[in-house]
Amino acid sequence: MFFQHVYDKSLAQASFLIGCQAKGEAIVIDAQRDMDVYLKIAAQNNLNITHIAETHIHADFLAGSRELAAVTGAQLYLSDEGGADWQYQFDHIGLKHGDIIKVGNLTLEVLHTPGHTPESISFLLTDHPATSEPVMIFTGDFVFVGDIGRPDLLEKAAGLVGTQETGAKQMYQSVKRFAELPSYLQVWPGHGAGSACGKTLGAVPSSTVGYEKIRNWAFQHENDENGFVDYLLTGQPEPPKYFAMMKQLNKVNRPLLVEIPQHHLLSTTQFSQAFSDGIKVIDTRNKIDFAKGFIPGSINIQHNNSLSTWAGWIMNYQEQFIIVANASEMEEITRKLMRIGLDNIYGFINNVDDLGIELQTADVISLEKFKTYLGKDNVQIVDVRGLTEYEDGHIDGAEHVFVGTLQDNLNKISKDKQVVIHCQSGDRATIANSILRRNGFDGVKNYYGGMKEWLANGGKTI
């Protein structure tokens, strides 16, 4: 048996290529959209991708299953569980609980594991030349290392009111059935630490059923369904705004993108025309360089592992946008954005100093300066971290407006007071600062050090 774990750090998302070397056949589970990685792995190991499967209709990334099928001719195997409202609306081979997928000398048994979503399934893998017993389970967003999938996304992200309690109770039953599996069984989940699909995901890539029964909180609520449901639904992070779009695009027919787009460097004239036409500018430089000089109205979303997530929070899927980045970074940036369906890149520029535009600067303040604003009636301190972070401890007097929803809550920011913003360590605050500046809040002061520096220097929270 051949096995390759493919991990996208930008979305903390795992996919898998499993092959039967004797027959030269392989299956890919939960493929990312830039699917050339699987083609390379298969070619390097003399395998043909003949099967493609998904564990559920994903909310946090745009699955590349259809792109991969278009290139390889492989069959799509997708869940037909969950009822009429949870069916994929394009051609596929439907899967029900107990169905078997044969890949050469390997088999994958389908287990219906609802809770995260009604149609969620897991795959129980048996390597028949080695054993007649299953050796791995691919759980998607069902069981993670140290956590389980959240059932509230359909309600919070997709607006399906009343689904989270039902999902939590389904998850309770799925977890009880999972606990009956052999303790030695390897568990390969669809996400790791950093994903918004749970609240306490572990950083290691895999586990075992036995280990999860010992350390995973979900298995400590035996015969306590109410306690399980309450804990599962409490303290989940805000689901990114783009999740609703992913749910839709992963369910219906959509245009396929089988190659990585190549974007051109805009001339000064091309940029000036686009800028005057109102095309949004996303500046991916680091926050320090951005603060020294940025295009008026541009939004700073730094090119790091969080680029996709914050772009998904901030961007409109119908609008074109220009990227500020070095040419050497554009392929990676394009990949990260296409993984969540943000394809409308108009072009890029790599030097803001040569555009003939008067640049703006950010007013970044030190800890000492920040302290001078505390407790003053004419100052509004705004904490732009997540709600759970804020509730766990914040600076006395700080108001909460989450950066991801700031654009929709500008009325909460005072135009009559000195506004001072902060987050944990500066990254989210620079996004918030650029959004505020874009919307006419010109006097904002940005405390980069944030809660990290505040606490390290003896600062108190409430």
Residue 85 has pLDDT above 90, yes or no: no
CA distances in angstroms from 94 to 4, 54, 137, 190, 209, listed in the order given? 25, 11, 19, 20, 27
**Among all chains, which residue has been given the structure tokens 């040419």?**
327
User: pLDDT category, 6, cuts 50, 70, 90?
Assistant: very high
Task: Identify the burial level of 111 via C-beta atoms within 10 angstroms of its C-beta, where 0-12 means exposed, 13-18 middle and 19 or more buried.
Answer: buried
Average pLDDT value for the chain: 95
Q: Are residues 46 and 114 in the same domain?
A: yes
Q: What pLDDT was estimated at residue 158?
A: 64
Question: What percent of the chain is modeled with pLDDT above 90?
Answer: 91
Mean pLDDT along residues 194-203: 73
Residue 122 has pLDDT above 70, yes or no: yes
How confident is the model over 233-269, as pLDDT tens digits?
A: 988 888 888 999 999 999 999 999 999 999 999 999 9
The Cα 116–Cα 247 span in angstroms is 13
Q: What pLDDT was estimated at residue 222?
A: 78
How confident is the model over 166-189, as pLDDT tens digits?
A: 999 999 999 999 999 999 999 999
Of 354, 376, 411, which residue sits at a domain end? 354
Close Cβ partners of 223 (under 8 Å, ≥ 6 residues apart): none
Q: Are residues 350 and 368 in the same domain?
A: no
Give the chain's count of helices (H) and strands (E). Answer: 15, 21
Instruction: Classify residue 181: in a domain, yes or no.
Output: yes
Alpha-helical (H) ranges within 53-196 are 65-72, 153-156, 163-178
Q: Are residues 244 and 300 in the same domain?
A: no
Q: Are residues 189 and 329 in the same domain?
A: no
Of 320, 354, 388, which residue sits at a domain end? 354
Q: Are residues 137 and 229 in the same domain?
A: yes
Structure tokens at 92: 């596929």
Q: Are residues 132 and 275 in the same domain?
A: no
Of 249, 283, 299, which residue sits at a domain end? 249
Residue 156 has pLDDT above 90, yes or no: no
Q: What pLDDT was estimated at residue 366?
A: 97
User: pLDDT category, 160, cuts 50, 70, 90?
Assistant: low
Instruction: Classify residue 461: in a domain, yes or no.
Output: no
Instruction: Classify residue 214: in a domain, yes or no.
Output: yes
The Cα 245–Cα 253 span in angstroms is 13
Instruction: Classify residue 254: in a domain, yes or no.
Output: no
Instruction: Classify residue 25: in a domain, yes or no.
Output: yes
Torsion, Cα 174 156 340 316, to 10 degrees, reads 170
**Domain at 110, CATH number:** 3.60.15.10
**Among all chains, which residue has been given the structure tokens 């559920």?**
56
**Domain at 407, CATH number:** 3.40.250.10
User: pLDDT category, 424, cuts 50, 70, 90?
Assistant: very high
User: pLDDT category, 159, cuts 50, 70, 90?
Assistant: low
Instruction: Classify residue 260: in a domain, yes or no.
Output: no
Alpha-helical (H) ranges within 216-348 are 225-233, 243-249, 268-276, 287-292, 307-314, 330-338
Q: Are residues 391 and 349 in the same domain?
A: no
Among 192-201, 229-238, 351-360, 407-416, name the one with the lowest average pLDDT.
192-201
Give me the number of domains the chain comprises. Answer: 3
Residue 281 lies in domain: 268-354
Residue 161 has pLDDT above 80, yes or no: no
Residue 272 has pLDDT above 80, yes or no: yes
Residue 157 has pLDDT above 70, yes or no: no
The Cα 255–Cα 232 span in angstroms is 36
Q: What pLDDT was estimated at residue 223?
A: 86
How confident is the model over 390-417, as pLDDT tens digits?
A: 999 999 999 999 999 999 999 999 999 9
Q: Are residues 174 and 292 in the same domain?
A: no
Check residue 220 and report its DSSP letter.
G
Q: Strand 280-283 vs strand 445-447: parallel, antiparallel, or unpaired?
A: unpaired
Instruction: Classify residue 31: in a domain, yes or no.
Output: yes
The Cα 436–Cα 410 span in angstroms is 8
Alpha-helical (H) ranges within 109-238 are 153-156, 163-178, 209-215, 225-233
Q: Are residues 303 and 240 in the same domain?
A: no
- Do 351 and 308 form a contact (C-beta atoms < 8 A)? no
Classify 15 as helix, strand or coil. strand
The Cα 85–Cα 76 span in angstroms is 19
Q: Are residues 275 and 404 in the same domain?
A: no
Q: Are residues 237 and 289 in the same domain?
A: no
Residue 163 has pLDDT above 90, yes or no: no
Residue 308 has pLDDT above 70, yes or no: yes
At what angle are helices 330-338 and 307-314 packed, to 10 degrees? 60
What is the number of residues in the chain?
Answer: 462
Q: Are residues 302 and 438 in the same domain?
A: no
Instruction: Classify residue 259: in a domain, yes or no.
Output: no
